[in-house]
Amino acid sequence: MLQYWTAILTEASIFAILALGIDMIWGWAGDFDLSAYAYFALGVYMTMVLTIGKAKSPVEYVLGWHLPYLLAIAVAVVVVIAFASIIGAIALRSLREVYFSITTFGAVWAIYYFVENYTPLFNGYNGVYGLFDPMGYGMSYAAYHYVFLAFCAVTLFGVYLLVQRLSRSPFGRMVRAVRDDEKAASVYGRNVFGTKYRTYLFGAALAGLAGGLFAAYIGAFSPLDWKPTEIFVLYAAILVGGRGNPKGVVLGSFIVYVGFVEMTRYIPSPAARPELGPALRQILIGVLIIVMLRFRPSGIIPERLGTDGTEGRRSWRYLFARSSAPPTSVLAWHEARPSMETVVPAEPRPEAGT
Amino acid sequence: MAGTTTPTETPLLKIWGKMSIFWISVGLGLSTAAILALSAVAFTLEYAVSRVVNLAHGEILTIGAYSAYVAETTFHLNLYLCAVVATITGAVAAMSLNFFLIERFRSQKSLSTLIATLGASLILQNLILIAFGGASVSYQFDQGTLLHVGPFLWTTITIKVMVSAVVVAILIYFLLQRTQLGKALRAVSQNRELAQVSGIPARRVVMQTWMVAGAVSGFAGFLYGETIGSITPSIGNGFLLLSITAAVGGGLGRPYATLGGAIVLGLVMAVAGTYTSSAYQLVIAFAFLAVMLLIKPSGIFVRGRRATVRA
């Protein structure tokens, strides 16, 4: 039982880091990015091929170095950032909202099929394996898992502090200003593309970091482990916790992840129908996404604009306050102000059927 | 040199052989493009009236394909009646999707609706998985004989697929241009509120458009299942990315531009797939999409260019 909880909490910590990364792109910058799982997977693959050594005959993959684990994660994160800078440059330059989502949706599937079919890269469909005890302590199986859980938890805490700090910094506020009104932000001298691009790369780096941790956790990784539809549980987690609020995202990840794993134990999965359990789980995720979006899109702990940073700890009070929006905030100012659309006539919509 | 060259490998025959492979792949591309065109036009119509990028669009295709499968195996209907069943089921599925989901999200941003359709896609795909299992099934219709038509190589069923796709495309043209619904549809797609206050029953027009789009998608799902020969719960999802690429590449929300985009994409994929590997189809499709979005974000078949594309 203890081992079971160790495993679940380790996974939840890793996915919370990934969720924090996704939330920077989706929650702060407002770009619904579907390709984050590809960055996570690239982080896993890179960490693997950098630590497990040369490929032996039927198995083939690039590099095959013997770097120390922590260094390998660092290199993997750099590779992920470099890769995300290409996708980000394509998707963010002039595309927004649904067009951005479509592009990243295409990107993740294209990458998925490429990795699955092009064997020389990461051994294609069969994947890479063989990473265990990367720290090299030579511990017993059980002890290793406790130490690794501690390592993941500490990393998550560090990432959380960093992200929370960044969220309250001028940069965090600038990202949200750009999200809420690009025209206004650029009038005030903010570089719209640069802001979104930097946020995107930071989010991708966190996804790569989570991948590096995950590599040591599972030790073997193939395309079956990262079907792009699997990541939707994290979008549900972010929606439940509270988009744009690091505290909420971590909370949501633990609630939804642990909740779903716990729940799936009680779903009957007869041997004749092995697909039943996972399918029901996916259906529940879909329902959760729709219900949260429809009835409580801001989540359990909503994002609080303006108060973060200036009021620090006092912001906890708003959790229990009657009104969720603090009175003298950027949010209130935003709501009182007439929106751009009512002042400036909207652009003419494209004609259909021409 | 002389020892290795067999008589069939003279330069002229080599070129002829390559050309013939080229034409065969163009022929295959045309049949894919025909189905893709239907699916993409349905997708673009949904966007035109509801401003929603419907990520559950693929599941409507899957529902069409499976309903025809049920009609064939359980009720032993023939090819044409199965097509009718797929069409009707697709229409019903799309109308329910619009009624239960899209209309409920009308007051929210289009990005929220996109995420909601993502949830719907998960739900539908896994319901189908539970109902029919993960193993692939296939229709038992006669594939017909192999025919040489000009430089192309087609089977009778491929020709039927293409002819029916062209017929449906022509019907859509008449629907958009010559009927009252088409006129109302174009008005609603330009400005729903304005159409509403001018006396057009916008809600009903949107519903009817979803019915048409669903019917076309269901039919396209049936044709696709018939062409590739095996149906799985995720066939529609794989086809979704191609439909999106065709629609966005041609011009999202514009049926005729989408039609052009689908034909170009079908041909590009078939020809590129012949010289690389068919496994990279989606990779090629994405490369096509990325290039299109970088060069001309408003779509190839749309005049003028806007700097920023927004929904």
Residues 155 through 194 of chain A touching chain B, CB cutoff 8 Å: none
**Residue contact B116–A103, C-beta within 8 A:** no
**Residue contact B127–A283, C-beta within 8 A:** yes
The verdict on A95 touching B (C-beta cutoff 8 Å) is yes
Query: A254 and A12 in contact (C-beta within 8 Å)?
Result: yes
For chain B, residues with pLDDT lower than 50 are: 1-8, 305-311
Query: A200 and A25 in contact (C-beta within 8 Å)?
Result: yes
Question: At residue A293, what is the residue type?
Answer: L
Using alpha carbons only, what angle is made at residue B163 by residues B224 and B26, rounded to the nearest 5 degrees? 70
Of A94, A101, A116, the CB nearest to B308: A94
Domain ranges of chain A: 2-227
Please state the pTM of the whole predicted model.
Answer: 0.83
Of B115, B120, B279, the CB nearest to A32: B115
Query: A198 and A9 in contact (C-beta within 8 Å)?
Result: no
Residue A138's pLDDT is: 66
Contacts of A89 in chain B (CB under 8 A): none
Contacts of B281 in chain A (CB under 8 A): 113
- Is the CA virtual torsion A97, A102, A105, A110 positive or negative? negative
Of B111, B281, B290, the CB nearest to A101: B111
Q: What's the ipTM?
A: 0.82
Q: How far apart are CA A85 and CA A202, in angstroms?
A: 10
Q: How far apart are CA A117 and CA A119, in angstroms?
A: 6
**Residue contact A97–B110, C-beta within 8 A:** yes
Of B105, B120, B286, the CB nearest to A286: B120
H or E, element range at A91: helix A69-92
**Residue contact A294–B130, C-beta within 8 A:** no
Contacts of B307 in chain A (CB under 8 A): 94
**Residue contact A276–B186, C-beta within 8 A:** no
The verdict on A275 touching B (C-beta cutoff 8 Å) is yes
Query: B185 and B209 in contact (C-beta within 8 Å)?
Result: yes
Residue A52, SS3? coil
**Residue contact A105–B55, C-beta within 8 A:** yes
Q: Which residue has the tokens 């189908």?
A: B128
Q: What is the pLDDT along chain A (354 residues), one digit of tens a residue?
A: 788 888 889 989 999 999 999 999 998 888 899 889 999 999 999 998 888 877 777 777 878 787 888 888 999 999 999 999 998 888 888 777 888 888 888 888 888 888 888 888 888 778 888 776 666 666 777 778 888 899 999 999 999 999 998 888 888 888 888 888 888 888 888 888 899 999 999 999 999 999 999 988 888 888 888 888 888 888 999 988 888 888 899 999 999 888 877 777 777 666 677 777 788 888 888 999 999 888 888 888 888 765 444 444 444 444 444 444 444 444 444 454 444 444 444 455 555 443
| Spatial CA neighbour of A233 closest among A7, A30, A43, A12 | A12
> Closest chain A residue to B53 measured between Cα atoms?
A98
Distance from CA of B78 to the nearest CA of A (A): 31
Q: How far apart are CA A214 and CA B173, in angstroms?
A: 52
**Token pair for residue B211?**
């019915």
Domain ranges of chain B: 36-125+150-295
